[in-house]
Amino acid sequence: MIFLLLIPILMAISATSLYKHNGKREFLKFDLVQFIYAFLIAPVLFVWMKSFLFYLLKSELDFGLSINQLFVFDSLFSLSFMYIYAFIVIHSLTKSFKMKILKDPLYDLFYHSEYFHLWLTHIIMFGGGIALLTFLSLTNVFLPIGLEGSKTALFSLVGIGIIGGITLFVGAWLSNPLQGNFMRLMKLLFGLSFLLHVGFYFIYDPGFNLSHAFFWMTFMLFATTVICSLLLQRSEKATGFMNKLKDYKWGFNIDVLSKK
């Protein structure tokens, strides 16, 4: 209990001492202090508040809540904090913009915002999603789900994986800026994830059953993205169709993974 009470005090001291360093250094185009506020202090505060709420409801307040009721309280709190956290990140971002403009009134704010738009949203959303899917899928090799059912259910999930792979590839393609390096990175991640699945298949030989359904579904998802990478981008018709769907101005002033 003492440890739970010390954490917010230490966080308040840290946040106060950091404030005087505003505008001195940057990290990932964020002001370093604003980055620490948004991506270190706020998440730690969230975990602490969840732990403290659980401790109060479970040990101190004799409400006699069931596990399901505790889950409802925790979910409501988490949802509320997510809305607040969204504005914390917006504040940190706009604060970083403000300090840039104060230093240089002619600073290219649009270029700066596009950096966040690509690096800190598209790449992290796609790359982080791929990493998370790969982790959960490979974990399923060692931790079977324990489901039983017909092969029809398994083939249905494999079909969902194929559809998901096409959707993932198209989403990445639509997010590709004009200079094209984003898509090169995505195809590299697709290929690495696919090779990991192939390697785990040959080494651990997971059974083709519902117990390993998430592995097989994700396996087919990444196999589909690799096939799409090899075939669709080389098709003039597919490329022409995708170019009609894309915003022609998207990414004209950003350069990711430049050859320089």
Tens of pLDDT along 28-38?
778 888 888 88
Residue 194 lies in a domain: yes
Same domain, 36 and 127: no
Neighbour count for residue 260 (Cβ, 10 Å): 4
Residue 254 lies in a domain: no
Residue 66 C-alpha from the chain's centroid: 32
Same domain, 159 and 222: yes
Domain total for the chain? Answer: 2
Same domain, 125 and 241: yes
Same domain, 131 and 236: yes
Query: Using CA atoms, how far apart are residues 51 and 1, in angstroms rounded to an integer?
Result: 11
Look-up of token digits 């738009």: 117
Q: Which amino acid is at 217?
A: M
Query: Using CA atoms, how far apart are residues 114 and 81, in angstroms rounded to an integer?
Result: 27
Inter-residue contact 182 to 176 (CB < 8 Å): yes
Provide the CB-side half-sphere exposure for 111 (13 A, CA): 9
**Whole domain around residue 40: which residue ranges?**
2-107
What angle (nearest 5°) sits at the alpha carbon of residue 126, between those of residues 25 and 33?
A: 15
Mind giving me the DSSP string for 78-124? HHHHHHHHHHHHHHHHHHHHHHHHHH-TT--HHHHHHHHHIIIIIIH
For residue 192, what pLDDT is reported?
96
The residues pairing with 2 across neighbouring beta strands, listed in sequence order, are none
Of the candidates 46, 80, 107, which is a domain's last residue? 107
The residues pairing with 26 across neighbouring beta strands, listed in sequence order, are 31
Neighbour count for residue 61 (Cβ, 10 Å): 10
7, burial (CB in 10 Å: exposed 0-12, middle 13-18, buried 19+) = middle
Mean pLDDT per 10-residue segment, the chain (260 residues):
68 75 79 88 89 80 77 91 92 87 81 74 90 95 82 90 93 75 89 96 92 94 94 75 64 52
Tokens of 20: 């005087």
Same domain, 97 and 163: no
Residue 253 lies in a domain: no
For residue 260, what pLDDT is reported?
45
DSSP 3-state assignment of 28?
Answer: coil
Residue 173 lies in a domain: yes
Same domain, 58 and 134: no
Residue 260 lies in a domain: no
For residue 173, what pLDDT is reported?
85
Same domain, 124 and 239: yes
Same domain, 237 and 138: yes
Of the candidates 81, 107, 133, which is a domain's last residue? 107
Of the candidates 50, 85, 107, which is a domain's last residue? 107
Residue 146 lies in a domain: yes
pLDDT digits (tens, 9 = 90+) for 123-172: 889 999 999 999 999 999 999 887 777 788 889 999 999 999 999 998 88
Same domain, 92 and 182: no
Same domain, 124 and 93: no
For residue 258, what pLDDT is reported?
54
Same domain, 86 and 147: no
For residue 4, what pLDDT is reported?
63
